[in-house]
Amino acid sequence: MTEILGHKRTILSLIWPALLVLGLVINNAPLVQAISLSEELPHRKVIVLDPGHGGHDLGAVGPSGLAEKDVTLSVARKIKEILFGAYEVHLTRNDDYNIDIEDRTAAANHYHADIFVSIHAGGGFRHQARGVVIFHHSHSTAAGSKPPQQQRDSRETYEKPVPWDYIQGVYTVKNQVLAKLVHRHLIAKLSTVDRGVRKAPCLVLRGADMPAILVEIGHLSHPSDEKELKKANVISAVAEAICKGIEDYFTKHP
Ligand SMILES: [Zn+2]
């Protein structure tokens, strides 16, 4: 009996550590798997898209009634659909409501966006204006203008942080790269007027702490642009072109 008990103890003493190890393996399996999966997943770039206008703010309205707020939302949704999975994409508005300009910029900063793209299809100052133009922010359109503290003595430049209004100055080169790449693809894809890449004071981009551009995909106030932007295949082409520009940008600035 004692021998049997002793034998049982011997067997149990052999089995328990094995069961313990097996238990640990089983229990830790999801943990081990989760760690290895999270290590494998690369950091997805964060993109914040800003469909211009919304709600009571129609934006520009075309001769036959197409509102800018609807065109910008369609393009932003399409871009999100194309980039879904490969990138983390957020929209400043997901439906037909208006939000303040400051809140649009704040959303980009809140999500720590790698890039911020504001989408418009506005009316030109000149009634006959049409075509594609990409803006990036400049505090002043005058060439060579600098933030006031950079014009003071150099010690102040290092001791004081860049004022929020001038934060876009840090990203000027990247803004230009992003603007040119998006512009290149839009012009290649659309049969429209090329109005180039320009610097301008853009309120929505001003406080954005990342590379940021404002894309005017057309001018709804012009009948030809309105006619084009009514077509679903043109909206898709615009979205695809912007996506290609974004992808090219992240190839250059991984
Ligand atoms: Zn607009």
Calculate the average pLDDT of the chain.
82
53 CA from centroid of ligand 1 (Å): 6
Same domain membership, residue 70 and residue 31 = no
74 CA from centroid of ligand 1 (Å): 14
122 CA from centroid of ligand 1 (Å): 4
- What does the alpha-carbon distance between residue 94 and residue 88 come to, in Å, rounded to a whole number? 15
Same domain membership, residue 153 and residue 245 = yes
Please check whether residue 218 is in contact with residue 130, taking contact to mean a CB–CB distance below 8 angstroms: yes
Same domain membership, residue 36 and residue 12 = yes
- What does the alpha-carbon distance between residue 44 and residue 82 come to, in Å, rounded to a whole number? 15
Please check whether residue 80 is in contact with residue 49, taking contact to mean a CB–CB distance below 8 angstroms: yes
Give the pLDDT of residue 13. Answer: 54
24 CA from centroid of ligand 1 (Å): 59
Give the pLDDT of residue 158. Answer: 44
Give the pLDDT of residue 106. Answer: 96
Give the sign of the dihedral formed by CA 239, CA 187, CA 206, CA 153.
positive
- What proportion of the chain, given as a percentage, has pLDDT over 90? 64
| pLDDT tens-digit readout, 140-158 | 754 444 444 443 333 333 4
Same domain membership, residue 207 and residue 195 = yes
Same domain membership, residue 69 and residue 12 = no
Same domain membership, residue 99 and residue 223 = yes
| 9 — pLDDT class (breaks 50, 70, 90) | low
Same domain membership, residue 208 and residue 100 = yes
Bigger pLDDT: 148 vs 200: 200
Give the pLDDT of residue 166. Answer: 82
Range scoring the smallest mean pLDDT among 137-146, 202-211, 242-251: 137-146
Same domain membership, residue 211 and residue 195 = yes
Report residues near ion ligand 1: CB below 5 Å: 52, 59, 120, 122
Bigger pLDDT: 16 vs 81: 81
CATH number of the domain at 116, please: 3.40.630.40
| pLDDT tens-digit readout, 19-60 | 444 444 445 444 445 545 545 566 899 999 999 999 999 999
* Number of domains within the chain: 2
Bigger pLDDT: 165 vs 107: 107
Give the pLDDT of residue 111. Answer: 97
- What does the alpha-carbon distance between residue 225 and residue 192 come to, in Å, rounded to a whole number? 8
Same domain membership, residue 93 and residue 64 = yes
Residue 115 sits in which domain range?
43-252
Give the pLDDT of residue 16. Answer: 53
Range scoring the smallest mean pLDDT among 51-60, 110-119, 165-174, 232-241: 165-174
By CB neighbour count within 10 A (0-12 exposed, 13-18 middle, 19+ buried), where does 228 fall?
buried
**Strand 212-216 relative to strand 132-137, pairing:** antiparallel
Could you identify the residue written with the tokens 């003071």? 152
Give the sign of the dihedral formed by CA 245, CA 58, CA 200, CA 128.
positive
Same domain membership, residue 219 and residue 205 = yes
Same domain membership, residue 52 and residue 33 = no
193 CA from centroid of ligand 1 (Å): 18
Same domain membership, residue 135 and residue 99 = yes
58 CA from centroid of ligand 1 (Å): 9
Q: What is the mean pLDDT of residues 114-120?
A: 97
88 CA from centroid of ligand 1 (Å): 24
Q: What is the mean pLDDT of residues 206-217?
A: 96
